[in-house]
Amino acid sequence: MPLAIRILQHALFVAMLALPHAAAAQRASVTDISNAVRTDIKTVAAGPSGRQEPVTTVDGREYVYVDAVRITSIRDRRASRSYAVWPRITMAKGANSRHLVASMPRVRDAVVTALNEVTQIDWPGPTKLDTDVAISFIKQRLDRIVGAGAVDAIDFMHVEVRVF
């Protein structure tokens, strides 16, 4: 049996034991088990190191954390560099992040497309990536998804580059 399935089975078993219904010898509902398991997964935003990250700025603007995006650049028909970036989107003051979060697959596609365009250029420097150009490309695409002015800033919390 694959390891992932065994881990999931173990988590469900532990969740069933932790439920109040289980202590009263009543059968727990599927909804109760699902809620118990899901609350353990990720209740607060976490950055690349897994540590908790702030949800809002000092002035009340919302942060939206995008999971790590990995891109490989190709030179002469072979992989030359691999990039991993952890983007964080800062919403404009008064803008709600619900639409952006609901459109997360499109947001990730926008980030991947913009990074693919930027990583095909040989940039100088230690990161081998011009983050300002990448951020402007991503912002142009996000403005089309959530509307102009909804996104205030985009920054990369962490960038990893591996040169082959």
Instruction: Encode pLDDT of 78-135 as tens digits.
Output: 888 889 999 999 999 888 888 888 889 999 999 999 999 888 877 776 667 888 999 9
Residue 49 placed within a domain? no
Residue 81 placed within a domain? yes
Q: How far apart are CA 34 and CA 86, in angstroms?
A: 28
Same domain assignment for residues 116 and 151: yes
Same domain assignment for residues 81 and 154: yes
Q: How many CB atoms lie within 10 A of CB 7?
A: 10
Residue 15 placed within a domain? yes
Residue 153 placed within a domain? yes
Q: What percent of the chain has pLDDT over 90?
A: 27
Residue 67 placed within a domain? yes
What is the token pair recorded at 11?
């988590």
Running DSSP on this structure, what letter comes out for residue 70? E
Residue 80 placed within a domain? yes
Domain count of the fold of the chain: 2
Same domain assignment for residues 33 and 79: no
Which secondary-structure segment (H or E) carries 65?
strand 63-65
Q: How far apart are CA 95 and CA 99, in angstroms?
A: 10
CATH label of the domain that carries residue 115: 3.30.479
Mean pLDDT of the chain: 77
Same domain assignment for residues 78 and 7: no
Q: What is the pLDDT confidence band of residue 29, given thresholds at 50, 70 and 90?
A: low
pTM of the predicted model, to two decimals? 0.65
Residue 132 placed within a domain? yes
Q: How do 78-91 and 151-163 pair as beta strands?
A: antiparallel
Residue 136 placed within a domain? yes
* Predicted local distance difference test score (pLDDT) of residue 27: 65
Instruction: Encode pLDDT of 39-76 as tens digits.
Output: 444 444 555 556 556 688 888 888 899 989 999 988 88
What is the token pair recorded at 27?
């059968």
Domain span including residue 7: 3-41
Instruction: Encode pLDDT of 5-25 as tens digits.
Output: 666 666 666 555 555 554 455
